[in-house]
Chains A and B, each alone.
Chain A
Amino acid sequence: MAATAADEAATRDVQRLLVQFQDEGGQLLGSPFDVPVDITPDKLQLVCNALLAQEDPLPLAFYVHDAEIVSSLGRTLESQAVETEKVLDIIYQPQAIFRVRAVTRCTSSLEGHSEAVISVAFSPTGKYLASGSGDTTVRFWDLSTETPHFTCQGHRHWVLSISWSPDGKKLASGCKNGQILLWDPSTGKQVGRALAGHSKWITALSWEPLHANPECRYVASSSKDGSVRVWDTTAGRCERILTGHTQSVTCLRWGGDGLLYSASQDRTIKVWRADDGVLCRTLQGHGHWVNTMALSTDYALRTGAFEPAEASVNAQDLRGSLQELKEKALSRYNLVRGQGPERLVSGSDDFTLFLWSPAEDKKPLARMTGHQALINQVVFSPDSRIIASASFDKSIKLWDGRTGKYLASLRGHVAAVYQIAWSADSRLLVSGSSDSTLKVWDVKAQKLSTDLPGHADEVYAVDWSPDGQRVASGGKDKCLRIWRR
């Protein structure tokens, strides 16, 4: 393959360069060889796949000195000073094999809630959809017919946050009174006892990862009263209380390495050991409330043993023994994590983001500035290469997931952007805003792909199903909309 490409070019009189393929971790692939300067990414892909000796050819993206090779190697190098004597390193990045298609139309507008829809979440396999609302109910929706399935009463105040267990068998919902209830999506009934203990409202819920415990027994909750509680769902009691924050805990994440991360309005992020509740580290640096956090392995932890590439049109439950699920989840987690430790990005009211490596260091890896208003949500892409941040300054900014370098700004919304969600192949991003529209952005082109108007009032919650087929959004106009291709 390499020989034929080289031969073709030899007939033409073109400048030639020595290149060496390198993967993201820095490992070299093959040995350096000669290519003409005007080689295109397709040819590079053929060569690389041949060197990788894979059965199915992978789609790859190539980067030279952080610039992507789009048209030909020569064009990309024009802007940079290149020494033709030295060997050029081309970094290849495998892209997701499957492609998620952009959603373009609203297939249904599901009414039923009598108050604003505050939170929306797809189950890890994409089979069920749950929504929490200000009318104190949690509703399950049947996705194949797009009709209501179950209405779960039990809370006595607004349902602020909902979270699926990684195996998709349980849903935890937290309300403004500080109560947590667990629901079974297949019957719509409450599971176990109500978990009460927090004195103020629940701000976030996070389950223990599947690869740590395939039974999905423990869930952690953070609240405005400044404490984090770890609950045992089978016993129905509070296992551990982690206090230390002086103000409301705004965000909570259960990492894959057995660490619990909590961000608070007292401008710190605390790292706890999940098994014994010991405070490991306090990350300081922000100048105002820390609103949101994201882990590089978030998507893998959320979907557990479900592989989006293997999704079928009709979403199914996860099958297999607990051991099988645990192994699958662990392999997916290790793949996304890569060589280094998990990375954490935090967004704050002081208009900046910090990139941390919390398991290693107290100092941040990078400080990302540029936003002109507070940052409402940060999300890592599923392949952990890009960070997207939604802010009240009507823009979404993209940053490199490894170094924190600024990539692009996505502008188009006319009011504050509230929430964003990535598609499973990391190529598309959907954002919901206060101006009642959703927008789908193409990340590679860094442009708007589709505009999705239709909501009558602010859009409070957005989610993209892990199988990539649907986007669900809910807002102040009390109806839940499902968008498909």
Chain B
Amino acid sequence: MNILSYTVSVKDIVWITMRKRERRKVERFMNVQRRQENMIGLKAKLYHKQCHAEKIQMKKTIKMHEKRNTKQKNDEKTPQGAVPAYLLDREGLSRAKVLSNMIKQKRKEKAGKWEVPLPKVRAQGETEVLKVIRTGKRKKKAWKRMVTKVCFVGDGFTRKPPKCERFIRPMGLRFKKTHVTHPELKATFCLPILGVKKNPLSPLYTTLDVITKGTVIEVNVSELGLVTQEGKVIWGKYAQVTNNPENDGCINAVLLV
């Protein structure tokens, strides 16, 4: 025998390891088979169910691949979304064109309930929303409160005389605009706020126009160009706030359609 035949090169090592790997794969497969034969009872039933599902999936993918290779006759059904000739080469030009469903709105209004995206919000105590401000010569009086959440004040807002104003709304937390997302079109617009409709935490916060997560606000949608059935232009719609504005520095809301 040649001495050289005993020395093993790198290439040989790779080849040997590959072969070992393959052998191990086969063994594993054999183990699987042995496992399958040894299973009984409920365990077997579940295992077989799983295998069956996998087999179906595999068959489906194979069929799909086959379909891709062969040419099929087109379906006789005409596609939806007919547009006139002048709109054919244009796609996605019209942004927020929405069909307002008047019947659904009327029904909702009659019921008095609104289906909102966030039905429940985290309860926040008064100490969290209103911070106690001590006043007086010795800072003993504690009847003033400062709002620690974002709020909305209207255009013609003037503070009450400082001596008798109980609730302070800091200027830094006053916001006029909100980023409203249309849920169906997935488009977001920056629209001015008209007012706060309802704050779920407390009616007190509603009167104070405090905006927290889950508050329903009214926004000016004249920018979107929506029209009712009678032909009137819609300029105000409700939206619900979806983030914590005091943490983010902006108000994000989703339009209620």
- Stretch of B41-49, B128-136, B222-230, B244-252 with 4 or more beta carbons under 8 angstroms from chain A: B222-230
Contact call B97/A115, Cβ cutoff below 8 A: no
- Stretch of B13-21, B83-91, B179-187 with 4 or more beta carbons under 8 angstroms from chain A: B83-91
Contact call A136/B230, Cβ cutoff below 8 A: no
Given A434-B97, A454-B229: A136 and B78 within 8 A (CB)?
yes
Can you name the residue of chain A whose Cβ is closest to the Cβ of B228? A453
Given A115-B80, A134-B82: A452 and B231 within 8 A (CB)?
yes
> Cβ of B232: which chain A residues have Cβ within 8 Å of it?
453
Interface residues of A in 94-149 (CB under 8 A from B): 115-116, 118-119, 133-136
Contact call B84/A118, Cβ cutoff below 8 A: yes
Given A435-B225, A458-B97: A201 and B231 within 8 A (CB)?
no
Can you name the residue of chain A whose Cβ is closest to the Cβ of B234? A414
Number of chain B residues close to chain A: CB under 8 A: 25
Instruction: Check B40 for interface membership: any CB of A closer than 8 A.
Output: no
Given A416-B94, A434-B94, A434-B97: A453 and B227 within 8 A (CB)?
yes
Given A392-B93, A415-B225: A204 and B231 within 8 A (CB)?
no
Q: Is the interface of A mostly helix, strand, loop or mixed?
A: loop
Instruction: Check B233 for interface membership: any CB of A closer than 8 A.
Output: yes
Contact call B227/A118, Cβ cutoff below 8 A: no
- Stretch of A1-9, A18-26, A157-165, A397-405 with 4 or more beta carbons under 8 angstroms from chain B: A157-165
> Cβ of B230: which chain A residues have Cβ within 8 Å of it?
453
Instruction: Check B53 for interface membership: any CB of A closer than 8 A.
Output: no
> Cβ of B231: which chain A residues have Cβ within 8 Å of it?
437, 451-454
Contact call B97/A248, Cβ cutoff below 8 A: no
Instruction: Kindly state the interface size class of chain A when it binds its partner.
Output: 35 or more
Can you name the residue of chain A whose Cβ is closest to the Cβ of B101? A456
Of the candidates A160, A203, A392, A414, the one whose C-beta lies within 8 Å of that of B227 is A414
Contact call B99/A160, Cβ cutoff below 8 A: no
Instruction: Check A156 for interface membership: any CB of B closer than 8 A.
Output: yes
Instruction: Check A418 for interface membership: any CB of B closer than 8 A.
Output: yes
Docked pose: A116 CA to B228 CA in angstroms: 19
Of the candidates A119, A291, A394, the one whose C-beta lies within 8 Å of that of B84 is A119
Contact call A460/B225, Cβ cutoff below 8 A: no
Docked pose: A158 CA to B88 CA in angstroms: 11
Of the candidates A201, A435, A436, A453, the one whose C-beta lies within 8 Å of that of B85 is A201
Whole-angstrom distance from the CB of B168 to the nearest CB of chain A? Answer: 41
Docked pose: A51 CA to B141 CA in angstroms: 96
Whole-angstrom distance from the CB of B129 to the nearest CB of chain A? Answer: 39
Contact call A201/B229, Cβ cutoff below 8 A: no
Docked pose: A415 CA to B226 CA in angstroms: 8
Instruction: Check A48 for interface membership: any CB of B closer than 8 A.
Output: no
Whole-angstrom distance from the CB of B93 to the nearest CB of chain A? Answer: 7
Contact call B99/A418, Cβ cutoff below 8 A: no
Contact call A457/B78, Cβ cutoff below 8 A: no
> Cβ of A160: which chain B residues have Cβ within 8 Å of it?
84-85, 88
Given A437-B231, A458-B97: A204 and B78 within 8 A (CB)?
no
Of the candidates A135, A250, A456, A460, the one whose C-beta lies within 8 Å of that of B229 is A456
Can you name the residue of chain A whose Cβ is closest to the Cβ of B230? A453
Given A435-B227, A453-B231, A456-B229: A418 and B86 within 8 A (CB)?
yes
Contact call B85/A161, Cβ cutoff below 8 A: yes
Whole-angstrom distance from the CB of A396 to the nearest CB of chain B? Answer: 16
Docked pose: A457 CA to B230 CA in angstroms: 12
B94-130 interface mask toward A, CB cutoff 8 Å, 1 = contact, 0 = none? Answer: 1001010000000000000000000000000000000
Docked pose: A461 CA to B87 CA in angstroms: 12
> Cβ of B225: which chain A residues have Cβ within 8 Å of it?
394, 414-415, 435
> Cβ of B76: which chain A residues have Cβ within 8 Å of it?
156
In the assembled complex, 20 residue pairs joining A and B whose CB atoms fall closer than 8 Å, in A order, are A115-B78, A118-B82, A134-B81, A134-B83, A156-B78, A158-B78, A160-B88, A202-B85, A291-B86, A392-B93, A414-B225, A416-B94, A418-B86, A434-B94, A452-B231, A453-B228, A456-B229, A457-B99, A458-B97, A460-B84
Interface residues of A (CB under 8 A from B): 115-116, 118-119, 133-136, 156-158, 160-161, 201-204, 224, 248, 250, 265, 291-292, 376-377, 392, 394, 414-416, 418, 434-437, 451-454, 456-458, 460-461
A-B interface, 9 closest residue pairs, ranked by CB to CB distance from nearest: A134-B82, A453-B231, A414-B225, A415-B225, A118-B84, A158-B82, A160-B85, A116-B82, A435-B227
| Given A394-B225, A415-B97, A453-B232, 5 extra CB contacts under 8 A | A133-B82, A158-B78, A160-B84, A201-B85, A436-B227
